[in-house]
Amino acid sequence: MVKPLILTGLRANNDLHIGNYFGALLPLIDMAKQKADEYDINLFVPDLHSFTTPVNHADLQDQVMHNIKLFVAAGLPLDHPNIHIYRQSYIPAHSELTWILDCFTGMGEMGRMTQYKDKSANVSADRISVGLFNYPVLMAADILLYGASYVPVGDDQSQHLEFARDIATRMNTRFGELFTIPKAVKEQHEFFGKDQGLRIKDLADPSKKMSKSDDSGKGVIFLGDNPETAAKKVVSATTDSLGVVHYDTKEQPGISNLLELHALLSGEPLQAVIDHHDGKEAYGDLKKEVAEQVTAFLTEFQSHLAGVDEKQLLTKLESDEEFMNKMANKTLLGVQRAVGLRPRG
């Protein structure tokens, strides 16, 4: 019996920060470990997606490999036979199927995508790439090539998943059963759990979440930061003038952010951390504890990163990419035959 398939992407470019680590990277790895015995897990690197917006192309290949290593350093098992990692651009069927699906997709469908509207809002029309516009079609191809039933998505990707379901249904209705229809967003959330976890805020401006695109980087702890530099960012974190530690995300967002970060780094329940610090009048003690935790975390993580066996990783990638090419090409051939690009066998 063929196992149901879970598919998700590993970020291809830009440095990951500590918020990415706790909010996305660790949950993804935990999911893979928990479900790999019952499901096939496809973890792919969406390197084609990475330059729908401007990137430094000279660094892209190094960044792709670096970010795969980050996942390995965080505990992604390379030896489980049901966990597959591969680079999107190394499977040409992704691009080929995207073009075919493009030709059955309406301009209006893509123009209504909220993420496209948001990312193109402040860009002149002649500078908006076609790649950004039809990004959801490539995402649909990523999913449909492998018959993925489950795709963990955040709210910003829900529209794209629904489009993948729509285009798969459209093609199936016209040409026969070409694709497995991925589960609806509601079913995805029921399967994976609707994440209500903590979201780390920017240390310099706790009114916004920590973001890799922050220009100054003063409030962002990157996984590649020097531990001492990261500790200084914590010590310099914006707080308030109230002078008493309380967990209040509206009135004391900076202090609340430090308490949440403390809980994540220590593994303690947030309420236990709050109870330990609540009512104390010295913010410096809280900052010192969190700074020490950040230093210890980064020192240990960077040690794991330096110890990743690149030869073993490349062997795994090449083996999985050979397997994925066979799987994707089988799906693609069925589509090519259905639309008349190949003789029907």
Query: Does residue 63 contact residue 21 with C-beta atoms inside 8 Å?
Result: no
What span, in angstroms and rounded, lies between the C-alpha atoms of 145 and 167? Answer: 13
Angle at 69 between CA 73 and CA 188, to 5 degrees: 85
Cβ atoms of 220 and 214 within 8 Å: the answer is yes
Strand order through the sheet with 40-45: 5-9, 40-45, 83-87
DSSP codes, 163-226: HHHHHHHHHHHHHSS-SPPPPPHHHHHHHH-------PBPSS-TTSB--TT-SS-TT--BTTS-
Tokens, residue 45: 């690197």
DSSP conformation letters of 66-114: HHHHHHHHTT--SS-TTEEEEEGGG-THHHHHHHHHHTTS-HHHHHT-H
CA 37 to chain centre: 22
Q: What is the largest CA-CA distance in the chain?
A: 77
Residues 49 and 65: their CA atoms lie apart, in Å, by 15
Report the catalytic residues.
119, 209, 212
